[in-house]
Chain A
Amino acid sequence: MATLEQALGRPVSVALPSSLWGTALRRLLRRRSAIAGMAILGSLVVIAILAPVIAPYDPIEVLIGVEEVKLREAPCIYLLGCSTDRPQHWMGIDGNVRDQFSRVVYGTRLSLLIGFTTVGFAIVVGVALGSVAGFFAGWIDNVIMRLMDVLLAFPSLLLAIAIVAVLGPGLQNALLAIAIVSIPAYARVMRASVLAVKESEFVVASRALGSHPLRILFSAVFPNAVTPLIVQGTLGIATAILDAAALSFLGLGAQPPTPEWGTMLGAERNQVFTAPHLVFFPGLAIMITVLGFNLLGDGLRDALDPRLAARGRQALPERVKP
C-alpha cells in the first residue's frame, strides 16, 4: 500500500489526533485562573459534602444553656491566643447565640445548590426558547426575542424583587425569580448558535435527507451551542449566587433560621459597628464562591473560544512550509 510518505518521497510528521474536548481540557489546565477557580470550587464542594463533619455545631442549634457564650461574642480561636478554657468559635457567636462558623459551613451547600438550580432552570428554558426562535424564524422569533428584550430592559435585581413581590418571599420564589431574569442571556446565545449553523451545508444536507427538525437540533445545533452555553452558565452561576444573596439580604429570599449567607448578613447588618465579624464572614464566603465561578468561567471562555485559540496560534512562530 502506498503511504503518504512514499508518495511524497519524504518523511511526514503527523500530529496525534486529539479530540475537541481533550484539546480544550489541556488548554484549560494551562490557565492559572481556571486552575485557581477549580481549586476554590473543588474545596467548596468538599466543604459542602462534609459539612456535618466540618461544622462543630448544628447550624440552627441555639447555644443558650449548652455553653457559656454571650450573644454576638467575637471569634475565639485557640491558635490566636484565646484562652483554652473557653469554647472555641472560629467565627464567633451570632445574634441568636448560634455558632457562626457552622452556619457559614452549611451555607456552602445552599449557595452551590442555588447556583446550579437557577442556572439549570434558566438554561433549559432559555435553550428551548432560543432554539424555537432561531429555528422557525419569522413572527415566532420576533415575539420571543422582543419578549427577551423587554426582560432585559429592567435591571435584573429590580425585576427579581418585583417577581418575588408577586410570588411572595421565600427561597424557592427567589430562585425562580433569578432564573426568570437570567433566561434572556441563554435564549440569545442559543438563538445565535442556531442561526450560525442553520444555513451551513451539513444542516442543509441533513434536511434534504429528510431529517426531523428535532434530530437536526440535537445532532447539529446542540454540539455547536454547548461551548458558549457552558461559559455563559459558569459565569451565570456567579451572578445567580450574588443576586440570591442580595434578595436574601433584603429579606426576600431564604428566611431565618436557614443558614444562608445573604440572610445571615441581612439579619446582622445593623450590628456591623458592634459585631463586624457577623457581617464579615458570610460576605467573605459569598465572595470566595462567586470568585471561584468567575475564575473558572473566564478560564473556560479562553480555553473553549476558537477565536482566542486561533489568535494564540498566530502568536506562535510560523512553521516552515513544505
Chain B
Amino acid sequence: MTQYVIRRVLSSIPVLFGIALVVFSLARLIPGEPCTAMLGERATAEVCERFTQEQGLDKPIPVQFLIFLRNVIRGDLGTSIRFTRPVTLILVERLPMTIELSLTALMISILIGIPAGILSALRHNSATDVATMVGANVGVSMPVFWLGLMLAYVFAIVFKDTFLQLPPSGRITAGLSATPFYEVFGWELVADSAWFKVNEFFANLYIFNSIITGNWEVLKDLLRHLILPAVALSTIPMAIIARLTRSSLLDVMGREYIRAARAKGVLERNVVMRHALRNALLPLVTIIGLSLGLLLNGAVLTETIFGLAGVGRILFEAITARDYPIIQAFTLVIAVNYVAINLLVDLSYSYLDPRVRLKQEA
C-alpha cells in the first residue's frame, strides 16, 4: 500500500511540471505588450522599458520560466500587474469565495442526487424512475449561465415581497460585514506574515468565520446570497450523481450476494442500506472528485452572473487584461488542486475497495 501511494504521488510530478510549463507559456502567448495593455496611455517608451525591466520581462523566456519555477517552489507567486499587490494576498481573498460556492454546490448535488438515484433504482421503471431520469437528463443539458439568470429573475422579481425573495447578486448585503475571527478573539497578527495569510484565508471563508464567531445574522444573510448561485452550479453534478447512483445500485442489486442476503431473511431495508449501497456508492467517489472540475468550470459563469468576486471571475478578468502573474498563479492553483483531487480519489479508491488494494499489492 505504502509503495503504491509513493509511486502514485511520484507519477504526478511530471504532470505538475507539464502544468507549470503550460501555464507559463499560455500567459506568454497571449498577444499584446503587457506594458501597453496595463498602463494604457501612460505607456511611453521610457516607462515601458522600466516596467519590463522591473517585471523581468526583458530576460530570455527559458530564464523567465526557471525564475517562475523557483519562485513558485518558494511560495512566491509574484505581484499582480493590475492591482500591484502580491498575488498570494489576492488568492487568499478570492479563493475562499469559490471554495464556499463549490462546496455548497457539491453538497446540494450529493444530498439530492444520491437519494434521487437510490429511489429511482429501487422503483426501477416506475413513474418516479422515469421522472428522475428525465430530470437528470434535463439537468446535464442546462447551460449554467442560463439557469443562473432565470433563477435570479424568478427569485428576485417574481417572488418579490414574498418570503421566497432572494438577492440576485453579491455575497453579502452592503453594510453587513463579517469581522474576522482573529479580531474577535483578539489575536495579534503580524501583517503580511504567512501566519496572517493563513488566518486571513479562513476568515474569508465567511460562512466558517460567522459560525465560529457566532454571528448568526451575517450567516443567514450569507446563506441567502449563496443559495441561488450554489443551486445553479449544482445541477450538472447532481444529475450525473443521480444517474450514476441509479445505474450502480441497479447493477449491485442483481448480484448473487443480494439474493443470498434476501434468502436468509434480511430486511429489505437492510439489504439496500447495508449490503447494496456500500458497494454501489464506490464509483461515486470518482465522480464526486471529477465533479470538482465541473464546478470550477461553472464557477467562472456563476460568479459572472451573480457578481461574486471569486477565482473564476478574477481569472477571466486577468486573461482579458493580460495580468500575467494572476493568470499564472490562479491557473496553477486550480490545476494543482485538480491533480491533487485525482490523486486523492485514486488513493481513497484503493483504501475503500479491498479488491483494488489487493491487486496493487500482488
Contacts and interface: CB of A to CB of B under 8 A. Distances in A.
Of A155, A163, A238, A273, most B-chain CB atoms within 10 Å: A155
B121 interface: no
Contacts of B319: 161-162, 165
Interface of A: 33, 146-147, 149-150, 153-158, 161-163, 165-166, 168, 238, 242, 245-246, 249-250, 262, 265, 269, 272-273, 276, 279-280, 282-284, 286-288, 290-291, 294-295, 298
Given A153-B338, A161-B300, A279-B146, A166 B31 contact: yes
B339 interface: yes
B284 interface: no
Contacts of B300: 157-158, 161, 250
B72 interface: no
Given A155-B334, A158-B300, A158-B315, A149 B18 contact: yes
Contact of B316 (A147, A250, A272, A286): A250
A146 B14 contact: yes
B145 A249 contact: yes
B142 A287 contact: yes
A150 to B, nearest CB: 4
Contacts of A295: 137
A246 B335 contact: no
B327 A287 contact: no
Contacts of B15: 146, 149-150, 153
A269 B338 contact: no
Contacts of B316: 161, 250
A269 to B, nearest CB: 6
Q: Tell me what chain A mostly uses at the interface: helix, strand, loop, or mixed.
A: helix
Interface of B: 14-15, 18-19, 22, 26, 29-31, 137-138, 140-147, 149-150, 152-153, 156-157, 168, 293-294, 296-297, 300-301, 304-305, 312, 315-316, 319-320, 327, 331, 334-335, 338-339
B299 to A, nearest CB: 9
Contacts of A282: 146
Given A250-B316, A273-B156, A165 B296 contact: no
B297 A155 contact: yes
A286 B316 CA distance: 23
Given A154-B331, A166-B31, A249 B301 contact: yes
B335 A154 contact: yes
Contact of B153 (A154, A163, A242, A272): A272
A91 B153 CA distance: 17
Contacts of B150: 272, 276, 279-280, 283
Contacts of B305: 269
Given A147-B18, A290-B141, A294-B140, 9 more contacts: A150-B15, A153-B15, A154-B331, A246-B301, A272-B152, A273-B153, A276-B153, A286-B146, A288-B141
A165 B22 CA distance: 14
A252 to B, nearest CB: 9
A156 B301 CA distance: 13
A181 B331 CA distance: 15
A265 B141 contact: no
A118 to B, nearest CB: 16
Contacts of A283: 142-143, 145-147, 149-150
Contacts of B140: 238, 290, 294
21 contacts: A146-B18, A149-B18, A153-B335, A154-B22, A154-B338, A155-B296, A156-B297, A158-B312, A158-B331, A165-B30, A242-B141, A246-B143, A249-B301, A262-B143, A273-B157, A276-B153, A279-B150, A286-B143, A287-B142, A287-B146, A298-B137
A282 B142 CA distance: 12
A147 B15 CA distance: 8
Given A165-B320, A283-B149, A153 B143 contact: no
Nearest 10 A/B pairs, CB to CB: A283-B146, A150-B18, A291-B141, A290-B141, A157-B297, A165-B319, A155-B296, A166-B29, A155-B297, A153-B335
Contacts of A149: 15, 18
A155 B149 contact: no
Contacts of B19: 150, 153-154
A238 to B, nearest CB: 7
B300 to A, nearest CB: 6
A265 B150 CA distance: 11
Nearest to B144: A246
A264 B64 CA distance: 41
Nearest to B146: A283
A287 B26 contact: no
Nearest to A245: B143
A142 B141 CA distance: 35
B48 to A, nearest CB: 21
Nearest to B18: A150
Contacts of B304: 250
Contacts of B157: 273, 276
A150 B20 CA distance: 10
A162 B331 contact: yes
A155 B294 CA distance: 7
Of A147, A156, A162, most B-chain CB atoms within 10 Å: A162
Given A291-B141, A294-B137, A158 B334 contact: yes
Contacts of A290: 140-143
Nearest to B250: A311
Contacts of B320: 165
A36 to B, nearest CB: 9
A249 B297 CA distance: 14
A162 B323 CA distance: 12
